[in-house]
Amino acid sequence: MESSSPSTPISMAIPSSPPPPSPPPHSQPRHPHHDTSPPPETTFYHRVADKRRKLEADRDDSLLYGFDLQPAATALLDSTDVEPLRIFIDDFTQTPIKKKQSKKKVLDSLAFHYPNSFFLKLTKLLSINPSIRIRNEVVSLLHMTLIDTHGNDYDIIRFDMFVEIKPLILESFKIELQERLLPQLTEIIVDLAARIYRFQIGGWVELLEYIVLCILSYSDDELKLKKGLMLLADIPFNAVENVEFWKNHYGALHLNLMTRLLVESDNEDLQALTFDSMFRMLGIAPPLEEYEIGDSILLMLLKFIDQHSKEEIVMKRVQDLGDFVSMDVDVILSGKEGNVFRAMLRIVEKNDASRELRCAAIEVLKELSEVRWNAMVEVIYEICDANVERVIMVSLSMMFEFNKQSYQLGQVLLNLLSFNDGGILVVRVAGEFLRTRYAASRDWKECHRGMIFVAAFADGRQNDISSSVFTTELMKIMTNAINHISEKEQEDGNPGTAKRGSEYLPDSILALITTTTTTFKGRLSPYAEELFSAVAKLWGDDVPDKVKVIAVSLFNNIVPHFPDKWQMYLDIYSYELLKSRGGSHHAQWESARGIGMCAKFGGHNFKTIVNVAMLKLYSLIEYGLSIEGDKPENGANIFDMAVSAIGKICEFHRESIDGPKRDCMLLICDLYCFVTNYKAVKQVIQGWLNCLPLTNDPFEARIVHQQLSEMLRRKDADLLGPKKENLPKIISILRALLLLKERKELATKETFSVIFKFLDKHDGGL
């Protein structure tokens, strides 16, 4: 009979968990989809377990895990017979790829743990000349053991092993008929030779004798010749230890290789091997003191250095030459700097040369100029103008590539050439290059890079060039460019770009003039009147209006650099600015810009036309507000430029804002309201404030907003107005500017600093 436990009455209250704690006051509601609880703490035991799992995973991928290496090593290496290893390798070569892993682990492990025994056994196996399938695998294993696995450990092969290995590997190389195995075998023998010569045990004379025998042999055995050339091309430099041997054969090798390089023009591969062999002969000429032969070899190599269809081979030759130049072997290099320069120039100016190859060639010239500066200066002086022009075009082309290395190396080459004729020829060719390059380019980066070039060259050379001829040449380039505008207009009616109207100033001339005048401002000052005169000629009676607009644009660019040299042209300049010009948006924009220039730099002479200029600016504002359709930004830019010009008049000529009282003309568009031609400065400034902040043209916006901040900083009474009646409007402008997303583009940090201080002073504008 089962005993029953006392039952709990239904009416008895069941204990429940305590209620959750109340949230702290003012706490944010919990995000329903975001777990705010901290991650569980990782204990020490968790970390140990994770580390063990990782070690076990690494062990599974280990080279030796899963089998016992010792029995395999004993079976394959301990026996004096190579048959077990031959059978193992033969079986390995015929095993499907998916099932090779275990045997591959054995071979890799033998190469890593038993390099001496394994290398010797492989060498013995190769010497019995097994099947091509086995030989191919044996050569790969030899390469893996000596170079891939232990290439950086020159002491891994024991001293006593060389005696047995040398004849075996050399004999295998001699009898090998498969040409595709020779490159790896050559690399193995050369690496082995480098290790042998490190021990200074007499070297490897048998190898050197075989090389000479192959090259000097009069037989028609091309394979034998290739073997000798391949070994000589990569023989380690310390093989010169066998001085007596080289003294006896160096001259004969030189004559033989020189002849072969000239006659093997139909066999490009053999000629390439001959070239590489001669380069190695050049490298060992200094320690052998064979300077005369070294001179002859260097001249021949420079003649043939670029003669190969494969660029990677030419690249290696150029890099090897750079290594030799860096050694600065004075006895051999002396007097041949010009030969090196011309050889590298041939490579650099090849149309199909890659950027990497051209950079490598100029790196050689850079290295040569660093170690032999005085000699390179003499070389540049002696180069004819035609060659200088070629080099300039190459250097400029490199500088116009959107790659930092190309630009820097192009500049190195250009700086070298600037010693010729005091840099005048460089400037002349550069000017022509910029014009033609810009004419073919629609990329603003091209224009910017051209301006950088002119500035970089000028900054680097202006202290070295003191001749007035240089400055005259610069002026000649600029005036010719200006005169070319009118001539071009007569030829095709379109000196501008295809993308923009012909009233635009061509980018090439803009970059050339703006950058050159900026850099050489002091030097060009005596010639500024000549420059202004050349531009003023474009305002002749028989010149089309679109050319006159270009002349206005030129003046607008030149005036800021020579503000004291243009006053005699103010009348004709201002006349062109105030003249009505049809529906050309760019012409209207240039007019507004020019009026601003006159206001800033015109001085007392501009005061007489201030009110006429104001009327022109008001009409331009109205014109800008009226532009709709596909390109409303044109109107916005005209508006911004006109507002900027009015700001300059308020800053420099507010005392001249006066005239007969007229009826007010209100131009209303959205929130903008402008009152025209009031004789009181008060209304003009209020109208100016009604147009702020500017948001369309970042450049002009920064200028205008900086002007506003400066007026606020000095507490300009006219700006604030009587009893500070303009203060609410000013505060609203500043707050609107701060709320704009693009505000960082529309004002400088200094401007924002003034704005913040002003708003703080007025309770944040509230």
- 66-92 confidence digits (pLDDT tens): 445 677 777 888 778 899 999 999 999
Write a three-state SS string for 108-153: HHHHHHCHHHHHHHHHHHHHCCCCHHHHHHHHHHHHHHHHHHCCCC
Helix residue ranges per DSSP H, 305-352: 311-327, 330-333, 337-348
Tell me the mean pLDDT in the region 408-430: 65
- What is the per-residue pLDDT for 17? 47
Tell me the mean pLDDT in the region 149-158: 87
Count CA atoms closer than 13 A to 145's CA, side-chain side: 27
Q: 718 vs 373, which has greater pLDDT?
A: 718
How do residues 317-350 score in pLDDT, each as one tens digit?
999 999 999 887 888 988 899 899 889 988 988 8
Q: Which of the residue ranges 140-144, 154-158, 267-271, 664-668 has the most confident prediction, judged by mean pLDDT? A: 140-144
- Picking from 12-16, 46-50, 734-738, which range would have the lowest pLDDT averaged per residue? 12-16
Rounded to 5°, angle at Cα 448 from 443 and 453: 125
- 39 band by pLDDT with thresholds 50, 70 and 90: low
What percent of the chain clears pLDDT 90, i.e. is strictly above it? 39
Query: How many residues in total does the chain contain?
Result: 766
- What is the per-residue pLDDT for 6? 41
Tell me the mean pLDDT in the region 402-418: 70
Q: Give the integer Cα–Cα distance in Å for 512 and 558.
A: 12
- Residue where the block lists tokens 């063990």: 52
- Helix then strand count (H, E) for the chain reads 38, 2
Residue 355, φ and ψ in degrees, nearest 5: -60, -40
Nearest to 619 by CA among 658, 646, 649, 653: 646
Report whether pLDDT(722) > 90.
no
Q: What element of type H or E holds 73? A: helix 69-73
Q: Give the integer Cα–Cα distance in Å for 653 and 643.
A: 15
Q: What element of type H or E holds 620? A: helix 610-626
Q: 414 vs 25, which has greater pLDDT?
A: 414
Tokens of 708: 């506003």
- 202 band by pLDDT with thresholds 50, 70 and 90: confident
How do residues 456-507 score in pLDDT, each as one tens digit?
555 454 444 444 445 565 666 677 767 776 666 555 544 443 334 455 666 5
160: exposed, middle or buried (Cβ count in 10 Å: 0-12, 13-18, 19+)? exposed
- Residue where the block lists tokens 């060009």: 524
What angle, rounded to 10 degrees, do the helices at 404-417 and 385-399 form?
Answer: 160
Cβ 708 vs Cβ 692: under 8 Å: yes
Q: Give the integer Cα–Cα distance in Å for 557 and 528.
A: 13
Q: Give the integer Cα–Cα distance in Å for 415 and 631.
A: 45
- 254 band by pLDDT with thresholds 50, 70 and 90: very high
Nearest to 109 by CA among 73, 138, 152, 58: 73
Dihedral sign, CA of 284, 286, 292, 297? positive
- Residue where the block lists tokens 């900054």: 459
Q: What element of type H or E holds 675? A: strand 672-675
- 7 band by pLDDT with thresholds 50, 70 and 90: very low
Kindly write down the DSSP assignment for every residue of 192-245, as one continuous string: HHHHHHHTTSS--HHHHHHHHHHHH--S--HHHHHHHHHHHHH--GGGGG-HHH
Residue 26 DSSP class: T
Give the residues across from 668 on adjacent strands: 673
How do residues 348-359 score in pLDDT, each as one tens digit?
888 888 989 988
Report whether pLDDT(12) > 70.
no
Q: Give the integer Cα–Cα distance in Å for 601 and 566.
A: 9
Instruction: Give the amino acid at 476.
Output: K
- What is the per-residue pLDDT for 100? 87
Within 8 A by CB and 6+ apart from 382, the residues are 338
Report whether pLDDT(673) > 50.
no
Cβ 206 vs Cβ 166: under 8 Å: yes
Q: 366 vs 55, which has greater pLDDT?
A: 366
How do residues 561-581 score in pLDDT, each as one tens digit?
888 888 899 999 999 999 866
